[in-house]
Amino acid sequence: MTIQFEKVGGGERFLHLDFPGSSVRIDDDTTFGHFPRGQTFIVQVTLNINASTPNAHIVLSGAGASGEATRNISPALLPIARQFGAVRISSGLEADDSTFFATTIVVTKN
């Protein structure tokens, strides 16, 4: 499964989370946390796009899930991040036959 953060209108992403095995991988290079397969758990992502060091803070919780990580947004991707307008959730692979459910998606702006 993949959770992808994109600019308005979609297409260009500035951050994505993959869920291989039982951990989370950020942008294909940083792995953290743990979650139980087949259980409902919470993924909370707080984007601090206008901070002096733009970042995403990611927390896993519930049903035995745990882990926390902060990822700085690449300066090259900052113009895309500042146009944030979509969260895309997908299986990540065209031939993937796994099942997942994503519910109660909340996006707020300060």
Total-model pTM = 0.87
Find out whether 48 and 110 touch, Cβ atoms under 8 Å. no
Helix, strand, or coil (residue 108): coil
* Assigned token pair, 82: 């500042």
Residue-level pLDDT at 106 = 79
Cross-strand bridge partners of residue 18 = 2, 25
Residue-level pLDDT at 96 = 56
Low-confidence ranges of the chain (pLDDT < 70): 92-98, 109-110
Residue-level pLDDT at 97 = 59
Residue-level pLDDT at 102 = 78
CB atoms within 10 A of CB 16: 17
Residue-level pLDDT at 42 = 92
Residue-level pLDDT at 38 = 85
What is the residue extent of each domain of the chain?
Answer: 2-90
